Structure formats: structure tokens, C-alpha cells
């Protein structure tokens, strides 16, 4: 055997052995968790609100719309409502606008703007509604087609304004 080839191999093997079995510096102390109770993972739990980490939109200009008609204030054309409503409804925007024609004055109560409308000659079956929670910066909409209601909300919001839910109930009672 060639001693010149074996010696470097033994030296490398010894270095790896010492390096891998050496004592590690232990500065990390194991800390128990703050709570031992597991958090529920059910995503269908109804909550009171969702956290919106983004900047809230200022809806202050809409406060002047209380008691006025949406047509005279150009409510649906006001930004950022116009672009966000279009994004929220997607292809259903046309259906919404067809049903948002005969409209009462805008209502604002407790920071929620609310307005509904109906398709001419088809009130009570073909309607549309919009609600904006101005404090939480969330837009909601509803569309009734032949009394079948579909609700929309930004951020997959599960809690809808009470007035919008009351609007929906009038179709369920028929």
C-alpha cells in the first residue's frame, strides 16, 4: 500500500470526525409557549370583524350624500367607490346597474351608507343594494334576480350590515 495516499485520507477523516462531534455552543434556551391551548382553526366561525392591514379609505365626502338621491350625487361614479364596486361585482356589475334604477335617498347611520334600488316595474323581485361600512372600509352589495338574492362583500367579509340582511330577508319571506 501507498502510505502517501492513506495518510491524507486519514487526516481528512479525523478532521470531519472531530468537527461533527464537537460540542455546540448553546445560547438558546427552550421557552414554553405563552398558551398551551390550541387556537381554533375553523375558518367558518362568524366573527365581529376582520382586520384590514391596509390604509383605510376616507369616505368623508360621502357624508354629504345623506338624504340625497344617488343620481344627483353620482354616488356610483364617485371614486374610490366606482372602481372598488366594479372589482367587487365583476361580471355581475351589469345586472346590478340594471336593478339600481328606481332609488330612494341615500341613508347614513352609524357610519354605514346604505342605498337600494330596483328595476323599473320589477320592484320586489329585481333589486340591488349597496352598503359601505365607512369605519371599517368595506363595501357590500346585493343583487336580487327574480327574488333570488346574491350577496357580495370585500375581503370575504362574513358579517354583513343589519340593514342589508333585512333587505335580503324580504325575499326569503315570499
DSSP string across 108-157: EETTEEEEEEE-TT-TTTSEEEEEEETTTTEEEEEEEETTEEEEEEGGG-
Q: What is the pLDDT of residue 10?
A: 61
Q: What is the pLDDT of residue 11?
A: 59
pLDDT means over runs of 10, the chain (174 residues): 60 57 49 48 47 61 93 92 96 96 95 96 95 94 96 92 95 82
Query: What SS3 class is residue 111?
Result: coil
Q: What is the pLDDT of residue 58?
A: 78
Q: What is the pLDDT of residue 60?
A: 86
Measured at the CA of 140, the angle between CA 134 and CA 146, to 5 degrees, comes to 150
Q: What is the pLDDT of residue 67?
A: 95
Q: What are the distances in angstroms from CA 83 to CA 58, 62, 86, 96?
A: 15, 15, 5, 14
Query: What SS3 class is residue 94?
Result: helix
The 10 Å Cβ neighbour count of residue 50 is: 14
Q: What is the pLDDT of residue 39?
A: 44
Domain ranges of the chain: 60-172
Rounded-to-integer distance, Cα 154 and Cα 85, Å: 9
Q: What are the cell numbers at 130? A: 349597496
Q: What is the pLDDT of residue 96?
A: 97
Amino acid at each position: 500500500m501507498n502510505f502517501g495516499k492513506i495518510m491524507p485520507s486519514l487526516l481528512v477523516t479525523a478532521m470531519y470526525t472531530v468537527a461533527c462531534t464537537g460540542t455546540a455552543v448553546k445560547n438558546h434556551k427552550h421557552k414554553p409557549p405563552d398558551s398551551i391551548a390550541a387556537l381554533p382553526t375553523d375558518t367558518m366561525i362568524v366573527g365581529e370583524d376582520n382586520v384590514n392591514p391596509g390604509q383605510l379609505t376616507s369616505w368623508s365626502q360621502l357624508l354629504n350624500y345623506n338624504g340625497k338621491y344617488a343620481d344627483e350625487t353620482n354616488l356610483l361614479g364617485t371614486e374610490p367607490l366606482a372602481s372598488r364596486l366594479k372589482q367587487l361585482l365583476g361580471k355581475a356589475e351589469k345586472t346590478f346597474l340594471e336593478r339600481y334604477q328606481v332609488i330612494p335617498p341615500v341613508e347614513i347611520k352609524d357610519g354605514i351608507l346604505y342605498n337600494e334600488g330596483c328595476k323599473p316595474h320589477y320592484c320586489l323581485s329585481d333589486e340591488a343594494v349597496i352598503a359601505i361600512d365607512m369605519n371599517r372600509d368595506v363595501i357590500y352589495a346585493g343583487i336580487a334576480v327574480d327574488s333570488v338574492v346574491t350577496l357580495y362583500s370585500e375581503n370575504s367579509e362574513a358579517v354583513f350590515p343589519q340593514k342589508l340582511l333585512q333587505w335580503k330577508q324580504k325575499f326569503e319571506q315570499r
